[in-house]
Amino acid sequence: MADSFSLPGIDLPSPTLSARLGELAAFLAAPTTGRLTEEQRALSLGIARRLVADVAAELDPTIDAASLWSDWLAAGVPAAGRLTVACFARAEEHRWREQSAQRTGTPAPTEPGDVREEPAPAVPPSDADRAYLALQIADRRRFDNYGHPRLALADIDGELFRALLLDIAAWRLAAVAKESKAAADLGTAVRDASERRNSARGIDAAAKNYHEWALAHSDPGIVAAAAIARHDWVALIALAAVAGRRSYGDTALALLSAEAAALPFLLAPLKIERAALAPLEASLTSLPARSINGGGGDE
């Protein structure tokens, strides 16, 4: 929760009024600073809610995730500071890809619950096919069954996952405090969930495999340039993340918040020709309300 706002010698009647005055004060202090749009706020909040529900289910499938989220919204999400960057990065990437797909006519990613069996190919898939398919599968796990963006548990930072686990366990413990066995089982559940998370492979592992294939059989820069040309932003982010030794999420946010002039430097490890970046620059420029330097973002 944001720090409460106070006025010297005046007792504010409610935390809500205090928070709203604090928000207004922040706005007046920097009125030209870009704020979240309603779309950005809704996407980020939805991603956070789905992540909390997923972690709760990993801890104990019987946990009422709706009640948990409701309680946290009322009192303040305990891990808000850790959640912010991960949820905002995923939300902005989703906005970008959705708009890009609409502008170019690129089909949206297949929803995880809507995958259909395809006839077996006559020719075995190549190493390139397998590496790219693994990347696509990892990406599909970043959507729920309705096609809404989410953060797969394998993709979030280990510290964030453990913080959420412990916060949810504390919330659950308050409800079962009088049941000694249930309380003891929570400790075991936290340990088991952590072990499962540590062994999971997500988008970063798939990105590494894809980059290794490009390095061994082609050139990552050429593969990345081809991804830009076909507006395949997942493949581009994956290659850039590994080449730049960053996570997929951090790389996506860096690209989305970069000025056009900074893109060649961000993608320098891939050694992409400057002219090949034009479709990327155009796509990013067309995305409204980007969090770029020098103002409130693109309009």
Question: What would the two tokens of residue 263 be?
Answer: 């893109």
Least confident of 12-26, 50-64, 82-96, 196-210: 12-26
**Cα separation of the two ends of the chain:** 29
* pLDDT value, residue 11: 58
Longest dimension (CA), the chain: 80
* pLDDT value, residue 76: 87
Phi-psi region of 277 (alpha: psi -120 to 50; beta: other; left: phi over 0): alpha
* pLDDT value, residue 177: 66
- Name the band, by pLDDT with cuts 50, 70 and 90, for residue 15: confident
Q: Which run of H or of E encompasses 292?
A: none
pLDDT at 14 over 60: yes
The count of other CB atoms within 10 Å of the CB of residue 265 is 9
| Distance, CA of 291 to CA of 286 (rounded, Å) | 13
The count of other CB atoms within 10 Å of the CB of residue 236 is 24
| Distance, CA of 52 to CA of 58 (rounded, Å) | 10
* pLDDT value, residue 236: 98
The count of other CB atoms within 10 Å of the CB of residue 153 is 19
Note the pLDDT tens digit of each residue in 40-77: 999 999 999 999 999 999 999 999 999 999 999 988 89
Least confident of 39-43, 222-226, 243-247, 291-295: 291-295
For residue 256, count CB atoms less than 10 angstroms from its CB and return exposed for 0-12, middle for 13-18, buried for 19 or more: buried
Q: Rounded to the nearest 5°, which phi and psi values hold at 188? A: -65, -40
